[in-house]
Amino acid sequence: MPPIYASIDLGGTNLKGMLAHEDGSVVCATSVPTQSHEGPQKVLERIADLVAELCQQAACGPRALGMAVPGLVNRRQGVTKFLPNLPTQWRDVPVRDVLAPQVGCPVYLLNDVRCATLAELVFGHGRHASTMAFFALGTGIGGGVVVDGRLRLGPLGAAGELGHQTILPDGPRCGCGNSGCLETLASGPAIAAEGIRLMQSGLAPRLYELVRGDPGRVTTKELAQAAQSGDENVRDAIVRAARYLGIGVANVVVALHPDLVVLGGGVAQIGDLLFDTVRQTVRQRVGMFPTDGVEILPSALGENAGALGGIALAVQGGLLED
């Protein structure tokens, strides 16, 4: 029987567990609430239980476990350093040393968006690419960079934070301490906030109907619907955010001349209006070389990207030879 690998995608809300073969074919997968308020120790117990349950289903044990983690980790020591969205922020939790004896195999950690980038490289559109950039467009904007077939991690595994490039020098304050980062202009909450403002100013009647005037229900999904059904101002807001995103993509394109840029995450589901604007902005703003060969595509893997990245990480021994 071919070897099986395990992965865990540790999210603030859900823990996704997966067993898969080396080629990414999934043997079994499941998801349980993280219940992160119970603290790291309980969450790690839950992870060990989840892996045990999957192994029982598959009637075999994994060769290695790869874990996608929402923040900074020390990859060599398998220790979490700073997970900003989890209670206690998981500072210096020895995840590898706690989990490895329980799951009975090596455990490797990597930032979740770098994991998603690795998944796109190994199992998604990146299979045919040599140099690629990945933008994860959600509550924040994360990213990852592949240069000449290798995921670029840097000394802290933090290379590829594409959401924190400055786009507007005097723009809104960002969580990272800078101002005017791409994330402050084109993340889901940034775009939704402008939609809410328009709705409350009486400038987005379709949006108002869609959410019955409730600002708590406005996400980029409703904005895309409102734009499509005739809210010109909402359409303009999406195009403006997509132009900022296009500038961020163009900056990466001039730096790397990649074959491929992948846009994933919930905001990418806005679809053609977003992708067409980004492609047009890249054409307009990159003048030093033709960009016809730079493909800009939606993720091939969607919500499974983190978990599949954990599988690729496990297969590749945690990328620790870098």
Shorter beta-carbon distance to Zn ion: residue 81 or 164: 164
Residue 173 beta carbon to Zn ion: minimum distance, rounded to whole angstroms: 9
Residue 223 beta carbon to Zn ion: minimum distance, rounded to whole angstroms: 22
* Dihedral (Cα; 91, 97, 99, 102), 10-degree rounding: -150
Residue 161 beta carbon to Zn ion: minimum distance, rounded to whole angstroms: 8
Instruction: Please report whether residue 31 would count as binding Zn ion according to CB under 5 A.
Output: no
Shorter beta-carbon distance to Zn ion: residue 139 or 178: 178
Shorter beta-carbon distance to Zn ion: residue 181 or 250: 181
**Beta-carbon count within 10 A of 272 CB:** 9
* Dihedral (Cα; 250, 253, 255, 259), 10-degree rounding: 180
Task: Name which position in 181, 261, 297, 311 contacts Zn ion (CB under 5 A).
Answer: 181
How many positions of this chain bind Zn ion (CB under 5 A)? 5
Instruction: Please report whether residue 174 would count as binding Zn ion according to CB under 5 A.
Output: yes
Shorter beta-carbon distance to Zn ion: residue 75 or 164: 164
Residue 299 beta carbon to Zn ion: minimum distance, rounded to whole angstroms: 22
Residue 113 beta carbon to Zn ion: minimum distance, rounded to whole angstroms: 14
Task: Name which position in 147, 176, 193, 239 contacts Zn ion (CB under 5 A).
Answer: 176
Cα distance between residue 237 and residue 233, in whole Å:
6
266 within 8 A of 220, measured Cβ to Cβ: yes
Instruction: Please report whether residue 178 would count as binding Zn ion according to CB under 5 A.
Output: yes
DSSP 153: -
Task: Name which position in 96, 125, 164, 243 contacts Zn ion (CB under 5 A).
Answer: 164
Residue 141 beta carbon to Zn ion: minimum distance, rounded to whole angstroms: 9
Residue 159 beta carbon to Zn ion: minimum distance, rounded to whole angstroms: 15
| β-strand pairing of 65-69 with 107-111 | parallel
Tokens read off for 258: 């990649």
Instruction: Please report whether residue 142 would count as binding Zn ion according to CB under 5 A.
Output: no
Instruction: Please report whether residue 168 would count as binding Zn ion according to CB under 5 A.
Output: no
Of the ranges 174-182, 191-199, 227-235, 297-305, which one interacts with Zn ion (CB under 5 A)? 174-182
Of the ranges 4-12, 142-150, 173-181, 209-217, which one interacts with Zn ion (CB under 5 A)? 173-181
Residue 167 beta carbon to Zn ion: minimum distance, rounded to whole angstroms: 10
> For 223-247, b where at least 16 C-beta lie within 10 A, e where not — what string?
bbbbbeeebebbbebbbebbbbbbb
Cα distance between residue 131 and residue 150, in whole Å:
8
227 within 8 A of 273, measured Cβ to Cβ: yes
Of the ranges 58-66, 115-123, 162-170, 307-315, which one interacts with Zn ion (CB under 5 A)? 162-170
* Dihedral (Cα; 281, 284, 289, 294), 10-degree rounding: 30
DSSP 43: H
179 within 8 A of 150, measured Cβ to Cβ: no
Residues in touch with Zn ion (CB under 5 A): 164, 174, 176, 178, 181
